[in-house]
Amino acid sequence: MTENSFTKHVSMSDKALAIQMGNFVKHHRMNQHKSQEDLAKEAGISRSTLSLLERGESVTVPTLIQVIRVLNQLQIMNVFEVNDSPSPIELAKRQKKKRQRIRKKANRLTSEAIETDW
C-alpha cells in the first residue's frame, strides 16, 4: 500500500470504504465470469447477501471472508499481518551489546613464568 492510497483511505467515510470493498468483490466476480447466484452458492450465502456486499451495505466479516476465499483473493489478508518489531529502546540495547572492536589477545604470562633478576 502506498502512502497516497493510505492517505486517501483515511479521508474516506466508512460507507465509501464499504462501497470500495463491494466494487472489489464485484470486479473479481465479473472477471471470473460468475453470476451473483453462482458466487453466492459457492460461498454458502444468499444471493441477496452478496448483492448487499457488492452495493457496500453491511455484511459480517465472516461473509466477506467467505466471498474473498471463493474469489481466490485471500492475498489481500497480507495487510492484516502483524509483524512484531522491536522498540527503538530494544534496538539501542541490541546495538550496545554488539562488539565495537576486536582486540588481539595479548600473550599474557603469569607472574610465576616471568623471569627476573631480582
Q: Is residue 44 part of a domain?
A: yes
DSSP H or E run through 84 = none
What's this model's pTM, rounded to 2 decimal places? 0.66
Backbone angles phi, psi at 42, to 5 degrees: -65, -35
Assess contact for 74 and 68: CB atoms under 8 A: yes
From the first residue on, what is the mean pLDDT of each consecutive set of 10 residues in the chain (118 residues)?
A: 68 93 96 97 97 96 96 93 84 77 67 59
List the domain range (segments joined by +) for residue 36. 8-76
Q: Is residue 112 part of a domain?
A: no
In the chain, the number of structural domains is: 1
Could you tell me the CATH number of the domain that includes residue 24? 1.10.260.40
